[in-house]
Chain A
Amino acid sequence: MQAGHALLIDFGSTYTKLRAVDLEARRLAGSAQGPSTIATDITEGLQQALNALEARLGALPAFRHRLASSSAAGGLRMVTIGLVRDLTAEAARRAALGAGARVIGTFTHHLTRADIATITDWQPDVVLLAGGTDGGNREVILHNAAALGSAGLRCPVVLAGNRSAADEARERLGALEVRTAENVMPRHNELNIEPARAAIRQVFIDRIVEAKGIERARERLDAVLMPTPAAVLEAARLLADGAGTDRPGLGDVLVVDPGGATTDVHSVCAGLPAEGVIPRGLPEPRVKRTVEGDLGMRHNAATLVETVGIAAIAREAGVPEDTAEAICAGFAGAVERLPQTDAEHAVDAALARLAVGRAVARHAGTLETVYTAAGAATVQHGKNLSGVSTVIGTGGALAHARDAGSILAATAADPHDPTSLRPRAPRFLLDREYLLYACGLLASVAPETAYDLALASLEPLAGGEPP
C-alpha cells in the first residue's frame, strides 16, 4: 500500500490536463487544466493548471509520483517502412500504432527518390524500418537503409527487420541514431511487434521529450513516459489483465475514443476464430490499436461527412439535411466547439455514433463464406471481437454527450451484418472523468492502485452493471 498522492499530466495539443490521485484512498483527489503552451514554454500551461488544481484542493500535496504523457506538437509522428504491404509493412504499422504513434506515412518495397524527399520533408519524429523475414529478403531493407542514411534525415531510426541484414543496414544508415529491435515478422505470418514497440517507446522517452520542447518541464516531473494514446492502451491492458494476484481483470476489453481529428480504437483480446472458422492473413496482436484518420468529429468533420454522407448523418440525427450540413460545417471550422442547441447535440451524437461504428467495424475482423469442392467454408480476416464483454468510451466527445450509451451502442454487432465480428453483447462503461490515460501512467508505478482507480471511475451506461 502506498501513501501520498500522484500527479498525472497529459500534455495535449490544446490543454495541459492534470489528475491528482490519492494513492491510499485510491480515488481521484482533483482535476484541473491549463492551456497547452508547447510553442512558447510548456511550463507556463503546466503552472496555470497547477494553480487551478491548488485552488480546487486548497493546497497542493507533495506528489510522490509525477508522471506525464504527451500528444502535444502533433503527437509522436512516425513513418513506417516494410517490404510487402500486407506482411512486414503491416506489421511495422501495427508496432508504431501500438506505441501510440501517429503514422503519417507507410512505405513498401524500394524507397524511391521521391519517397525519400517526402519523408525528409515530413520531418517525422521516428522512422521504423522493417522488411524481410529473418534470413529472408535482405536486398530491399539494405537499399532502404542506404537511401535513408544519405537523405539528410535528423530523426532516430528503429531498425526491426530481417536480422541477417541488421548489421549491414545499421552501417548503411550512417550517422543516423539507430535502435535495433527484433524483427516485427521473424517468420512468415508471425507477428512480433512488442520489441519494436518497446524500442519506439524508449526513443520517445530519451529523445522526443527533448525534441518537442517538453524538457523544460523535466525538473517538475519524474518522467514523460509515453504518447497519450499509448497510456490509454496501457489502461486497456491493465483493465483486461488486472493487477497482482487478487485482481484478475475484466477479460476482453474494447476502448473507443472518438476525437476531433481521429477516432482511436483499442482492443485487448485474443480475437481468435470461432470453432471451424479458418483464419487468414497476418495474425492479430492481442493488444491492438487502430486510428481512423478520416473519422474525426471536428478537424475532420468534413472528411467524416464525405465518408458517411450527409444524408446518413441527418437521418441518424433526426434533423433536415440542410440543418445537418450547416451544423457540420460549423463544427469543422470550430475545433473546440461544444454543441449548444438541441439540433447541434443531435448532430454531434450522430457524428459520434457513425464515427465509432465505422471505426470499430474497421478494427474488427470479418467473416467470408468460401465455396469449396467439399462445401461451404467460413474464413475469418482480422480480429474476432464478438466475445468482448466490456466496451469503454473515453474522450471529450463522449464525456460531454447527453447520451453516451447510445453512441457506444454503435460499437456492438449489427444483426443485419453478421459478417462483421463486433462485440455481440457487451456492457458499456464511460470514462467520464478522463482518467484512463492517468491510470495507464500510474500502472507503471502502482498497478493495483491504478486498477482500482480505473474500475471505480468507470460509469456503467444504459442500465448496465457497475464493473
Chain B
Amino acid sequence: MGGQTLVTGVIGSDTHIVGNRILNIGLEKAGYQIVALGALTPAEEFVDAAIETAADAILVSSLYGQGELDCRGFRDLCVEAGIGDILLYIGGNLVVGKQSWESVEQRFLDMGFDRAFPPGTRPEDVVAALEADFARRGAGGRGD
C-alpha cells in the first residue's frame, strides 16, 4: 500500500511541531508522499497545497486546544475549492478541559472530518486507518 500523497501540518496559531514530525516520519516509512506544511498553518494553506499536489488526504494536527475554532468550516473550504471529497483526518489535543473522547470525536466527525484521533495516537494507527480508508475508496483515493 502507500504511494498516495498526504498533506500534513499543525493548524492555527499552534507551534507544537514535534508530534507532527514524528507522524510524518512514520507516514513516509509507510510509503506515502508527504507534503509537510509545518506549524502555524492556516486552513486555506492545507487546501491550496492539496490542490497543487493533487493530494489524496489532508491530516490536520492541533495540539493547543483551539482545534475546534481553527477547524470550523474546513470541509466547506474543501468543497468550495473543488476537493470536497478529499479524505480529512484530525488529531491531537483537540479541546481544553475534561470532555469525553466520544463527544469530542463526534463533534469533529460532524464538522466533516472522516476520522478524529485522540492524544497518544501512534503513527501506525494512522497508517492502518489510511490503508483501510484508501482500500474502501478504491486504489488511488481521489485521483483526477
Contacts and interface: CB of A to CB of B under 8 A. Distances in A.
Nearest to A84: B48
A8 interface: no
A132 B144 CA distance: 12
A377 B54 contact: no
A133 B52 contact: yes
Given A280-B40, A371-B13, A87 B48 contact: yes
A135 B13 contact: no
B72 to A, nearest CB: 18
B30 interface: no
Contact of B51 (A84, A189, A278, A371): A84
Interface string A367-383: 00011111001010000
A140 to B, nearest CB: 8
A135 B55 CA distance: 10
Interface in A330-383: 370-374, 377, 379
Interface string A298-325: 0000000000000000000000000000
Given A138-B144, A139-B144, A188 B35 contact: yes
A24 interface: no
A80 to B, nearest CB: 15
Contacts of B16: 374
Interface in B1-18: 5, 7, 13-16
A36 interface: no
B65 interface: yes
A371 B15 CA distance: 10
B54 A137 contact: yes
A131 B7 CA distance: 18
A135 B54 CA distance: 8
A144 interface: no
B50 to A, nearest CB: 9
A88 B40 contact: no
B53 A137 contact: yes
B32 interface: no
Interface string B52-87: 111100000000111000000000000000000000
A181 B99 CA distance: 54
B39 interface: yes
B40 A83 contact: no
B49 interface: yes
A317 B30 CA distance: 65
A185 B14 contact: no
A372 B144 contact: no
Given A84-B48, A138-B144, A139-B144, A370 B54 contact: no
A374 B49 contact: no
Interface string A65-105: 00000000000000000011011100000000000000000
B48 A86 contact: yes
Given A139-B144, A278-B39, A373 B14 contact: yes
Contact of B52 (A84, A371, A373): A84
Contacts of A460: none
A86 B15 CA distance: 22
B51 A83 contact: yes
Nearest to A83: B52
A185 B54 contact: no
A278 B51 CA distance: 24
Contact of A377 (B5, B15, B65, B66): B15
Given A188-B35, A188-B53, A189-B37, 8 more contacts: A87-B48, A132-B54, A133-B53, A136-B52, A372-B14, A372-B40, A373-B66, A379-B40
13 contacts: A84-B52, A87-B48, A135-B33, A137-B51, A138-B144, A185-B52, A187-B35, A188-B35, A371-B13, A372-B40, A372-B64, A374-B16, A377-B40
Interface of A: 83-84, 86-88, 131-133, 135-139, 185, 187-189, 278, 280, 370-374, 377, 379
